Amino acid sequence: MGIEHASGNIAKCLRLQLYDKPGNLARVAAEIAKQDIRIGDVRLVRAGRTHNTREIVIYVASNEQLEDVIDALAVLDGVVVEEVTDLVQKIHEGGKIATRSRVEINSLSDVRKIYTPGVAAICKDIEARPELAYQYTAIHNQVAIVTNGTAILGLGDIGAVAGMPVMEGKAALFDRLVDVSGVPILIQNYDPQVIIDTVRSIAPTFGAIKLEDIKAPECFEIEDVLDAELDIPVMHDDQHGTAVVVLASLLNATRFSGLMLRKSVVGVIGLGAAGMGIGKLLASYGVNQMIGTDLDAGACERFAAIGGKPCSLTEVMRDAHIVIATTGCPKLIAPEMVRKGSVILALSNPNPEIEPELAMESGASFAADGKSVNNALAFPGLFRGALNIRATHINDKMKIAAARCIAKYAEENELVPALLHPEVHQAVTAAVERAGLESGAIKPW
């Protein structure tokens, strides 16, 4: 997680002291532009009698590029580079989340109400009627964000603790977008049974379980077992959150290109967690011609089990009207492989299997990369809606309802709406609630 420009570059902040004369700031901007670096915010920090101090945010691709621009600015007359700040590190200092009280505690009387002796009456009420926990505790609004750190972002197996900043980011988005309390749970273990047992044991603390960044194929077993055993929703976001946003993207992409999604041959390149989640949801939506490829024979077998046809990369690119790539392999798709008129979603970040511009130049009718297909458009509303109706699980009807809603809120010429669209997450929540109630996903008391 970090502060990134649309290009995927990392934000740095330069604090510069500039001699206060006309054209000095322009010379700095021109020198930065010479290094092929984009400029973000420019802020006046301090105005002196002869010098000004400004902070300039720039987006660099590497530390080498940062050093080059610092060296170039250092030799300009009237310019002093005072400090360079890594904005990603700065925003992570101290962590991004915290647990805070929702009630004021200003007197001993307040303590007696929220703790002893007053709390005993509430405990006895819940003992007699367990459903009151949803009224008198935070359980109904808490989601466990569970990882073992084996498939973090594009980083792979880096361990649960190293993955904590990602889990904190998910929790922060939960809070900001739908007022859900996300609680990271780090399990430093490769054994699926250990993860299953751990989550099963802590499940009473939560209204839902969000599995995150657990590698395939273990993620499939973990989700299947927990979803069957627990009476609260369990969803692996890498599979299903991604699948929802991909379906939303395809609803709009096929509209732009004139294809009919259900009648199209859909090819999936990379049959790990994301690829399989996409395949499952497309099959549920009504796509009955899916072909796919993966280097792992076991992944191909799982794809065949959901109705897909395993084949080679060449066959996918030749025969599919719609291609979805989730491999993590930059430049895997060569320009000459692009079928004329096809739709291509090359979703690996930060570097796609083929750049959208190149795919379009090579004959695709529409192409996009993973920067515009963000599963944070889906998971907040999916969980908020499920929590609101006390769902026992998040089913395909709820996911499809979320995808349709997301697609509807895209602006003209957008594939999907912006993550911080002021209405989309509340609308997704409402759509998920309706679909959950209509499909019987609620908990009987």
Amino acid symbol at 215: K
The CA distance from 23 to 380, in Å, is 47
The residue assigned the tokens 């008391």 is 445
* Residue 442 and residue 390 in contact, taking contact as beta carbons nearer than 8 Å: yes
The b/e string for 356-379 (b: 16+ C-beta within 10 A; e otherwise) is: bebbbebebbbbbbbebbebbbbb
Helix (H, G, I), strand (E, B) or coil at 184: strand
The helix (run of H) or strand (run of E) holding residue 72 is: helix 63-74
* CA angle (334, 367, 305) in 5-degree steps: 80
The residue assigned the tokens 């944070």 is 376
The CA distance from 336 to 306, in Å, is 30
Residue 49 CB: number of other CB atoms within 10 A?
5
Residue 7 CB: number of other CB atoms within 10 A?
10
**Residues forming the active site:** 115, 170
